[in-house]
């Protein structure tokens, strides 16, 4: 499959370079090259765009704010000379971040991550059986498959969440609690605290308003207590 993409950069030399890299890559389809975020908006409205290579530090409207205004259907790889913007990039669920100056090899590695993402997305839309009991998260610059049944609980840690598994090391990924809660089926998972979502199928001990997973005691806060108690009552 071809990934339709655009390049956005206010620096003419940088824009020309990334455009040439896109055109050189067999699985990428170059839709347009834009000198500003506003120019890119008009392209997105009239064309199918899957992937955007976006410079973060641009006048008028910076890359992060531009991506926030776009549909989630368009994924992004940020390109910038400013390393301090990396965290901002991942906050808007960027697929990757390339630090300028970069060559074709670095560009290709990022593009391949995007290719892999869209292949997985298409498999999911086609009804791939594996997509019904698992999902993918980005951790340590890799995509990791997580099976619902392997999760004991999820703990929120500021900009990150820690996914605690039954028989493996925890996975830490940059994601909000709201975002991961949307990925987890409500028939299996329940929010019991501002910082915790638990797998109902793995509850074995409840002690004094705490759910016990080994040495970890997860408190059930007042906000979620009634729903949790109602669930327990139905199971008794």
> Which residues form the domain of 88?
3-125
Q: Do residue 164 and residue 214 come from a single domain?
A: yes
12 in the same domain as 107: yes
Task: Work out how many domains the chain is built from and give that number.
Answer: 2
Of the pLDDT bands very low, low, confident and very high (cuts 50, 70, 90), residue 236 is: low
Reported pTM? 0.54
The last residue of one of the domains, among 76, 107, 125, is 125
Q: Is residue 206 located within the same domain as residue 119?
A: no
Q: Are residues 120 and 31 in the same domain?
A: yes
The DSSP annotation for the chain comes to -PEEEEEE-SSHHHHHHHHHHHHH-TTEEEEEEESSHHHHHHHHHHS---EEEEESS-SSS-HHHHHHHS-TTSEEEEEES-GGGHHHHHHTT-SEEEESS--HHHHHHHHHHHHHHHHHHHHHHTT-GGGGSEEEEEETTEEEEEEGGGEEEEEEETTEEEEEESSS--EEEE--HHHHHHHS-TTTEEEEETTEEEEGGG--EEETTEEEETTEEEE--HHHHHHHHHHHHHH-
Same domain, 121 and 155: no
pLDDT digits (tens, 9 = 90+) for 136-191: 888 887 888 899 999 999 999 888 999 999 988 999 999 888 888 888 888 889 99
Domain boundary at 125, 149, 181, which? 125
Question: Which of 61-70, 85-94, 122-131, 222-231 holds the top average pLDDT?
Answer: 222-231
More confident residue, 124 or 211: 211
Give per-residue pLDDT as tens, 42-72: 999 889 999 999 988 777 777 777 887 776 6
Of 65, 100, 125, the domain-final residue: 125
């Amino acid at each position: 499959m071809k990934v339709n993409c655009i390049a956005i950069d206010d620096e003419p030399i940088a824009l020309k370079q990334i455009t040439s890299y896109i055109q050189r890559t067999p699985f990428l389809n170059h839709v347009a090259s834009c000198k500003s975020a506003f120019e890119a908006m008009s392209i997105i409205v009239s064309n199918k765009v899957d992937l955007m290579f976006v410079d973060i530090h641009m006048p008028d409207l910076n890359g992060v704010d531009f991506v926030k205004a776009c549909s989630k259907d368009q994924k992004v790889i940020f390109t910038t000379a400013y390393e301090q913007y990396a965290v901002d990039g991942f906050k808007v669920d960027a697929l990757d971040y390339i630090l300028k100056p970069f060559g074709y090899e670095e560009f290709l590695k990022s593009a391949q991550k995007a290719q892999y993402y869209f292949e997985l997305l298409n498999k999911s839309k086609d009804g791939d059986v594996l997509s019904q009991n698992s999902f993918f998260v980005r951790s340590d610059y890799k995509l990791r498959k997580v099976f619902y049944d392997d999760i004991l609980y999820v703990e929120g840690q500021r900009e990150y969440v820690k996914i605690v598994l039954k028989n493996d090391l925890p996975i830490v990924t940059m994601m909000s609690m709201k975002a991961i809660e949307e990925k987890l089926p409500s028939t299996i998972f329940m929010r019991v605290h501002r910082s915790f979502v638990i797998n109902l199928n793995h509850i074995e001990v409840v002690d004094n308003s705490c759910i016990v997973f080994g040495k970890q005691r997860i408190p059930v806060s007042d906000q979620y207590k009634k729903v949790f108690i109602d669930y327990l009552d139905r199971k008794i």
